[in-house]
Amino acid sequence: MVDNSVKMDTVSRLNRNLALLPPGATITLDMSTPAGQRGKFRSKFVGYLPKNYVLVQYPDSSKLGNFAQYITQGMGVTVRGLIEGHEGAVVAFISHVKQTVQLPSRLIVLEFPREVSLQNLRSAMRIETHIKAKLKIKDEHWSAVIANISETGCQLLVSNGEKLTLTGEQAVEIIIEDFQGLKNLKLQAIICNNRTQAEGVMLGMKFADASKSEVTKVLQQAVVTPH
């Protein structure tokens, strides 16, 4: 997700770009354990002290599970947050945990980042997701999961897709019934390719131009949603 980004490495620019995230903004914390296990958790941006530290909310303990034991000094963290009022833009930076605090509430203190990236969702950036959806082909509906998504297309895993009858580039509809407040969202697309996997059939999809605004809504939520 660092492609098509503008890296800002001066103190004034770092401060300005971090300021694009207001206190309380929803962010995701992408973390890795020493053994290489990755976890992605939803959090809130609290604030920062220039050149010193960044404060974020400690993720929900019920979601962390055993991962909580690894959130200690030195752990690497990638932070991403959607910029309010800037359609399709994301602030992202890499940092390390300085410490965790319990009062006045549970917080993670992060090292002040050396660079901040402004990332454009309208680029070819592809976001890993796990969004439940339905694939509509003619009058048939198939249960599916959007495995990843970009502005131009997505990969759709159909669990019983081996029964699908596919003919060339086929126009279909992807229906997202409920995802982070988005209800009954319909995306027009074309099936470009398919391959059989152990879990089912993975379809490579290209979105129709008519669905651009709906795709942007999904991207905005996907970038700050754990999967």
**pLDDT tens readout for residues 45-89:** 999 988 899 999 999 888 888 888 888 898 999 998 877 655 567
CB 173, CB 140: distance < 8 Å: no
- For the chain, the average pLDDT equals 83
For 106-135, the pLDDT digits (tens) are 999 999 998 888 776 666 567 778 899 999
Report H helices in the chain. 11-18, 61-64, 212-222
CB 137, CB 170: distance < 8 Å: yes
Residues making up the chain, counted from first to last: 227
Residue 227 banded pLDDT, cuts 50, 70, 90? low
- Angle 149-152-158 from CA coordinates, rounded to 5°: 45
Measured CA to CA, the distance from residue 71 to residue 75 in angstroms comes to 6
Token digits for 12? 């004034």
Kindly state the average pLDDT of the residues 95-103: 92
> What integer pLDDT is reported at residue 1 of this predicted model?
43
Bridge-based pairing state of the strands 182-197 and 170-179: antiparallel
> What integer pLDDT is reported at residue 8 of this predicted model?
44
pLDDT of 34 higher than 80: no
> What integer pLDDT is reported at residue 44 of this predicted model?
92
Measured CA to CA, the distance from residue 14 to residue 111 in angstroms comes to 13
Tell me the domains of the chain and their CATH numbers.
Answer: 5-120 (2.30.110.10), 127-222 (2.40.10.220)
> What integer pLDDT is reported at residue 7 of this predicted model?
47
> What integer pLDDT is reported at residue 187 of this predicted model?
94
